[in-house]
Amino acid sequence: MTSTTGPFGTVLTAMATAFHDDGSLDLEATKRIARHLIDHGHDGLVVSGTTGESPTTTIEEDGQIFQAVREAVGPDVKLIAGIGTNDTKTTLELAAQAEANGADGLLLVTPYYSKPGQAGLLHHFKQVADATTAPIMLYDIPGRTGTKVGPDVYREMATWGRIVAVKDAAGDPTQAVFLTELGYTVYSGDDPLTLGFLAYGAVGVVSVVGHAAGNEIRAMIQAFRSGDVATAQKINAQLQPAFAAIMGAPNYGATTAKAALQLLGVLENRNVRSPLVPLDDDEYAALRTGLTAAGLL
């Protein structure tokens, strides 16, 4: 690969959090997930992101999860702590905890549900940037949050020097050109669009499909970076059934990631916390079919 790597690595996954049957944290199984990812192509992990079911975990639990993952992967793997909520006070508490635990970076998602305007976004982001020292990756995913970060907000934040990267899941890879010109490092936040994001200047991906295809995603990025676009396209085409199975299902995200880990033998169950429900038997069978078609099982 070329030297164009981001501050947090190249292949990251927003890792799932494992739960026991009673809904409590399963830290040993969570460690297995982390080690599986590092053994399969990853150089960084996002802990307690949306796929980690952060809306249903407490501040204390997020701290326990982070500490368990750090213990599992050691000091050299980049760990980014998810701190984003729709409440600035809670986000600041999570940020302080993450920094105290030695997080290499902070993932800050746009506040969800309350749909603040662009001035509200700036106010929220500025409070977090002013209160922390760890580098921040902004997460723009309007399909989940209801609000898209506008260009003027990005321009203003670029002057702060505190938000260094963007996980872009807004659906338009061409925006990477604008963001990189402002000085941000861009990561694809949408697995099916990763190759397109690379073409427009992104350095890597924060994945969900990486739970099952970390090595393949890394090989695709390496091929593209080395100028072997045909091989990158071939790998991307091979992964399409997995993208569809994991990201295209109506009940997707933590549910499909955990089911994939169960199919791979990493997890013994696919427990999720309410209001999510585990994949049913038909959904599980469809996931197996997609992963098999992609050569991952």
Distance, CA of 244 to CA of 248 (rounded, Å): 4
pLDDT reported for residue 1: 38
Mean pLDDT to the nearest integer, 61-73: 98
DSSP the chain: --S--BTTBSEEEE----B-TTS-B-HHHHHHHHHHHHHTT-SEEEESSTTTTGGGS-HHHHHHHHHHHHHHH-TTSEEEEE---S-HHHHHHHHHHHHHTT-SEEEEEPPPSS---HHHHHHHHHHHHHH--S-EEEEE-HHHHS-PPPHHHHHHHHTTS-EEEEEE-SS-TTHHHHHHHTT-EEEE-SGGGHHHHHHTT--EEEESTHHHHHHHHHHHHHHHHTT-HHHHHHHHHHHHHHHHHHHSSSS-SHHHHHHHHHHTTS-S-----TT-----HHHHHHHHHHHHHTT--
Tens of pLDDT, residues 70-105:
999 999 999 999 999 999 999 999 999 999 999 999
pLDDT band at 4 (very low <50, low <70, confident <90, very high): low
The verdict on residue 258 lying in a domain is no
Number of structural domains the chain divides into = 1
Question: What is the span of the domain harbouring residue 144?
Answer: 11-228
Q: Say which CATH number the domain at 211 has.
A: 3.20.20.70
Specify the pLDDT at position 2. 39
The Cα–Cα gap between 297 and 294 comes to 8
Residue 296 falls inside a structural domain? no
Task: Identify whether 214 is part of a domain.
Answer: yes
Q: How far apart are CA 56 and CA 286, in angstroms?
A: 27
Q: What is the pLDDT of residues 235-252, one digit of tens each?
A: 999 999 999 999 987 768
- Tell whether 278 is covered by a domain: no
pLDDT surpassing 50 at residue 3: no
Q: Tell how far CA 175 is from the center of its chain.
A: 18
Mean pLDDT of the chain: 96
Distance (Å, rounded) from C-alpha 127 to C-alpha 184? 19
% of the chain with per-residue pLDDT over 70? 98
Residue 289 lies in a domain: no
From residue 167, how far is each of 18, 31, 64, 224 by CA, in Å?
A: 24, 24, 24, 19
Could you give the residue numbers annotated as active site?
139, 167
Angle subtended at Cα 159 by Cα 157 and Cα 164, rounded to the nearest 5 degrees: 60
Give the other-Cβ count within 10 Å of 283's Cβ: 19
Q: Residue 165 has what pLDDT?
A: 98
Average pLDDT over residues 10-39: 98
pLDDT over 70 (residue 131): yes
Is 250 domain-assigned? no
Tell me the C-alpha distance between 270 and 97, whole Å: 28
Inside any domain, residue 156: yes
77 assigned to some structural domain: yes
